[in-house]
Chain A
Amino acid sequence: MTAPLTTDPSAQSANPEAILAGQSAKRIEGRSLGQIAWLRLKRDRVAMVSLGLVILFLLVAILADVLAGIEGQNPLKFNPGTLDLDKGALPRGSFGGVSADHWLGVEPSTGRDLFARLVFGARTSLIVALTSTALSVGLGSLLGVMAGFFGGKIDSLISRGMDLILAFPQLLLLIALTPVAIDRLATIGIGGSAAHLVYLIGVIGFFGWPYFGRIIRGQTLSLREREFVDASRSLGATNSHILFKQLLPNLVAPILVYSTLIIPTYISLEAALSYLGVGVIEPTPSWGKMLNDSVTYSYADPTYLMIPGVALFALVLAFNLFGDGLRDALDPKAGR
């Protein structure tokens, strides 16, 4: 911790002689790694704006009911009255039927309220992205750290397993397995939209962990040769102590950074899968499905295309930029 420690201007201007003379009102405080990272992050304006956006989207998703309630609309309710059913079932009025009742207009051909679908869609998309990220990251860090730390047969087993999954044509599997998996889920009491969500999360999460596992394994390989591991070992620490108390805390930075970078990938993946018809199903709203639907209306109702497009763009960009900022903040050696 050399140069980057000088984060506080007052510390920079600190004069040891003055301190000795008791002139200084401020003391140089010891700071934890987390505090230092946070200080760095706070100075990164782009990252902070992105973080704000991410928090905003999370709030929107959490408060979807409240927001739709304020607007007074239900995402599933058909409003044929808002459509010109004699002329292609397109929304009446300009900008896709924007009005005091329907803040962002209505969906062509159904008249379902777009604002309500957008906020509930944020919930669906974020649930899919966050839970499958948690699944990938959980599996990946656990197995990655084990492979890296123990080496030998365990490493071979886990690494070959990762290779196997990476080589698997997951998209084909996802499409081919859908009907079977949905039937299976139905027999254990998960039916309809919920079954598709669980399946989607399971598959995205499961096939995502090896990418993550490899990174963690690599980090662990270099960490386990470090002095503090030797020191722990010589003091008689158990493997699990070294794994979870010594190694894992040092891996928090890459785990956090990778998570924030993988979330937008999964948001896009959910959109792509909905596009292929294996993702979220009617009548559940999701951003991916909205985007897919709206493409066909790009000429007739361009406003409809803009809404999920802009939202998805902003969310993915925000997560990406925040992830970048976080990496810079956590890893001083990366620099700029």
Chain B
Amino acid sequence: MTLLATRAQKVAVVGACLALAVTACGGSGKSKSSTKGPTGKKGGTLYLINDADFEHIDPQRTYVSNALNFTERFMNRTLVTYKSVPGPSGSELVPDMATDLGKASDNNQTWSFTFKDGLKFQDGTPVTCDDFKYGTSRGFSDVITDGPTYAYSYLKIDLAPDGTPVYKGPYKPGPNGGFDSAVQCTDPKHIVFHLARPIGDFNYTLSLPEFAAVPKAKDTKDKYDNNVVSNGPYKIETYNRSKNLTLVRNTNWDPKTDTVRKAFPDKVVVEMGADPAVIDTQFISDTGDAKTGIQNSTNVQPQNLNRVLTDPNLRKRAVNGFDGFTLYIAINTKKVTNPKVREAINTAVNLETYRGAYGGKEYGDYATSFISPALKSHKSFDVFGTKKNPNGDPAKAASLLKEAGVTTPYPLKFDVRNRPATAKAAAAIKEALERNGNFKVTLNIIPADQYYSSIGKKATQGDMSGAGWGPDWPNGSSVVPPLFASSLAAVEGSSNYSQLADPAIQSKIDAANKETDLTKQAKLWGDIDEDIVKDGAAVPTLWTKTTQMFGSGVKGAFLHSFYGEIDLNALSVA
């Protein structure tokens, strides 16, 4: 679960994105899906066999992909959400509680939404604008931790001199800090968001449950994680933390208001605490609850991949595809200042042995860019000839180092997350770079749970650091700026692990942010992506794939391109 942890890790990072502006036109989400909608029968119990409890299901605190999938599909509806279809179309937005994808005005700084009729919480009270506003306000509180922080990086609110919002959430008396005027309820059926600057794809941001409705009367602050009030098709029956969670039908959910959720099973049970390898075994043998269950928090482990993907009987019970993440090796441009040396590193890496360490072809495709091909902003280019020769070219790297005029072997300290496959992949990079006496690589192995905070310390970061990134919404604006914006280069804990502060790149990022035509903007992100690869500020390595299994009694399972896992929406077990 390296990748999920990576996504959770971004929590610390997003708050730093205050300086980033995204300007584009609203109203994306063209319908071009050719895939038939899922069909199924009502009834039965669906099991989610997980290795651990969700960290959070409180909507304002949910940020890990399997929890996002769970809470968005089952309990917390948002204004807009992602389509429930296989393939890249899954990344397209559709209206959920709102009647459309929002109306942007005032140069994309004002976004207004109208609610559908008949929206209710599980206790029968109607969902109103005030509930959305209250839910959004919770994210400002310091007891509501670990969630995304787009509310305060995007909304037009007052900021204290240190850059934090003046408003401290609904639990503390004190100044409102402009929150009331930033999120306005003109009447119970409408909500208006005023943004600090033009954000052309703000409706993508609103798909996060950070902006979901919470009824003020039922809010239990940090205990709300255990008592989420549902407005989706299911509600909590029992929740024993770290043991199991049972959902039953929410009779106050009206399917006529919901074009996305199918809600076939009568009951959903989440079982927690089994070892990932044991979960694999349960699904491979197709016994017990796994028979009508799916893998949710874990993927098929590398050692079982071959068996699952080559045995036809297992393959038909598995989904496999891109999960939207790009693995890369950031090169610290503050330490490795010579672009020729960075080019030499890019030229010398051997992605074949690197990918082998993760489990080979089934783990992912060789990456040539940071924006994954699942995104519209992806541009196809291959600066270092990776596709043709994934083994690297040590002779060419040697001549590049000669041109750079540095003494060889050039010493490099490589930060590595201590996980078995990651460490082996790092050893593969070490071997590849040390060919021809080009480099001398020292592996700096860092405990997994301290890794990202450790490489986020800008002064002590090594010369190279392995990392992975998955966008929060499917646009280049959620990939390029967080990883390479100059404004983040010196910010402690920021995700600009290359510490890249290149004025030329930054001016191009600014230009892309200003572009109002989403199609043109997408092209600009692709161009910047290519510029960064040419600069050698980081080595894109793999676009990763994921494999999950489901039981023989489950119908309608497919890999959702945004969540990067089995979409919980359309499963049926009857």
Contacts and interface: CB of A to CB of B under 8 A. Distances in A.
Interface of A: 76-78, 80, 83-90, 108-111, 175, 178-179, 191-193, 196, 277, 281-283, 292-293, 296-297, 299-301
Given A109-B424, A110-B353, A296-B420, A78 B360 contact: no
B515 interface: no
A110 B361 contact: no
29 contacts: A78-B356, A78-B428, A80-B353, A84-B306, A85-B355, A85-B360, A85-B361, A87-B306, A87-B360, A87-B362, A88-B303, A88-B306, A88-B307, A88-B309, A89-B302, A109-B356, A109-B359, A110-B353, A110-B356, A110-B357, A110-B424, A110-B427, A178-B447, A179-B446, A193-B443, A281-B423, A292-B420, A293-B420, A299-B304
Interface in B302-357: 302-307, 309-310, 350, 352-353, 355-357
Contacts of A83: 356, 360
Contacts of A293: 420
A277 B420 CA distance: 8
A85 B420 contact: no
A277 B448 CA distance: 9
Nearest to B422: A282
B308 to A, nearest CB: 9
A301 B305 CA distance: 13
Contact of B358 (A109, A277, A297): A109
A275 B237 CA distance: 40
Nearest to B430: A283
A277 B418 contact: yes
Given A85-B355, A87-B360, A277-B448, 7 more contacts: A78-B431, A109-B421, A179-B446, A192-B443, A277-B447, A296-B302, A300-B307
Contacts of B442: 191-192
A173 B505 CA distance: 45
Nearest to A89: B360
A300 B304 contact: yes
Contact of B360 (A84, A175, A178, A299): A84
A129 to B, nearest CB: 22
A283 B427 contact: yes
B371 to A, nearest CB: 25
B501 interface: no
Given A86-B360, A292-B420, A299 B353 contact: no
Nearest to B361: A86
Contacts of B427: 76, 78, 110, 282-283
Contacts of A193: 443
A83 B357 CA distance: 11
Nearest to B305: A88
B25 to A, nearest CB: 43
A110 B424 CA distance: 8
B277 A296 contact: yes
B360 A88 contact: yes
B421 to A, nearest CB: 7
B435 to A, nearest CB: 11
Contacts of B304: 299-300
Contacts of B424: 109-110, 282
Q: Which of A87, A89, A292 has the most CB of B within 10 A?
A: A89
A18 B231 CA distance: 109
Contacts of A283: 427, 430-431, 443
A301 B359 CA distance: 13
Contacts of A78: 350, 353, 356, 427-428, 431
B356 A89 contact: yes
B18 interface: no
Give the most central of A76, A109, A283, A301: most B CB within 10 Å: A109
Contacts of B361: 85-87
Given A277-B418, A277-B447, A282-B443, A300 B306 contact: yes
Nearest to B450: A179
A221 to B, nearest CB: 44
B301 interface: yes
Nearest to B413: A191
A300 B450 CA distance: 31
B352 A85 contact: yes
A332 B428 CA distance: 55
Contacts of A110: 353, 356-357, 424, 427-428
A159 B558 CA distance: 65
B352 A80 contact: yes
Nearest to B352: A80
Nearest to A281: B445
A281 B421 contact: no
A87 B416 CA distance: 26
A158 B567 CA distance: 63
B486 to A, nearest CB: 29
A6 B393 CA distance: 74
Nearest to A297: B303
Interface in B280-313: 301-307, 309-310
Interface string B420-459: 1101101110110000000000111111101000100000
A77 B434 CA distance: 11
B303 A85 contact: no
A178 B451 CA distance: 13
